[in-house]
Amino acid sequence: IFSVSFSATATEEPSVLYLSLHILKPANDTLVERPPYYPIYKELSPEQKWLYWEFLSEPFSPKHNIGYVFLFYYGLERHLAFGNIDQAFDIILKLRKNYNNNSFQLYTAQALVLTCIAKQRADLALKFMESEPSSIPMRYLILLKYTFQMLLTAAEIIKNYQYFTFGNNRYIKSQPELFLKTLSNFMERDFHSSALEVNRLFPVDIANLPVEHERVFANISLRDYEISIPVFENSKLTEKILSLLTETH
């Protein structure tokens, strides 16, 4: 169902550590310019290189500039594609818990989800969802549910209420526990479970859905690594969940 394409380019891996390059301890860390967007190790100033090595000595401390986190992450992406996928996956999950940067969260969530799909790793998909149940964009989460035949929970539905075209979040915000309990009760009434077996209850032929090409990684040296994924459409699922959310409200 999912196809992956990769064409090699001459772009150099940005996270390569050149040990012959000069590094210099800065007199004052706060006076060192922030690393640029899409940082490359060999292009950092001597002071920036020093700060990057400091980051490498304690990478899970949130005190570091996010540019150094991205530089380290680029190497982890290469492992997702060609190396030790399991260890890289675990390190990325740990970084996500310590660096709540919007761009970092978005790029890493996309890479982790698409890697699970491309490699057909249901175990890693489950690990991601169990460690961070509310952090996966719904367009990816729903694909994981269908691809690996996983349950869609009431909490996930509420978290992604806008995806199901429900617009009134008044009680989702003011009465979250009651809203979850009520929705769960309605799901038990209709499906005998507070978590939906979407593949069985709302089947869809993923192979016949329209597809779009997604870049998997932020690393510029892996920019040609793409996956063709379905643009998910299931009107029956959307209409039923919208009805349940409206009734719950």
* Nearest-angstrom CA–CA distance, 49 and 55: 10
The residue whose two tokens read 């978290």 is 159
* Nearest-angstrom CA–CA distance, 109 and 124: 12
Report yes or no: 157 and 133 within 8 Å, Cβ to Cβ: no
pLDDT digits (tens, 9 = 90+) for 174-207: 999 999 999 999 999 999 999 999 999 999 988 8
- Going by DSSP bridges, is the β-strand pair 3-5/226-230 parallel, antiparallel, or unpaired? antiparallel
| pLDDT at position 8 | 46
Cα–Cα separations (whole angstroms), residue 159 to 118, 141, 153, 162, 163: 26, 11, 10, 8, 9
- Going by DSSP bridges, is the β-strand pair 211-215/195-196 parallel, antiparallel, or unpaired? unpaired
Residues 6 or more apart whose CB falls under 8 angstroms from that of 174 comprise none
Report yes or no: 113 and 232 within 8 Å, Cβ to Cβ: no
Task: Please list the pLDDT of the chain residue by residue as tens digits (249 residues).
Answer: 555 554 445 578 999 999 999 999 998 877 899 999 999 999 999 999 999 999 999 999 999 999 999 999 999 999 999 999 999 999 999 999 999 999 999 999 999 999 999 899 999 999 998 887 667 888 889 989 999 999 999 999 999 999 999 999 999 999 999 999 999 999 999 999 999 999 999 999 888 888 888 889 999 999 888 888 888 889 999 999 999 999 999
In this structure, what token pair is assigned to residue 66?
Answer: 């996010």
Residues 6 or more apart whose CB falls under 8 angstroms from that of 19 comprise none
Residues 6 or more apart whose CB falls under 8 angstroms from that of 49 comprise 21, 22, 23, 24, 41
Cα–Cα separations (whole angstroms), residue 35 to 42, 61, 139: 12, 18, 31
Residue among 45, 25, 41 nearest 33 (CA): 45
Report yes or no: 158 and 134 within 8 Å, Cβ to Cβ: no
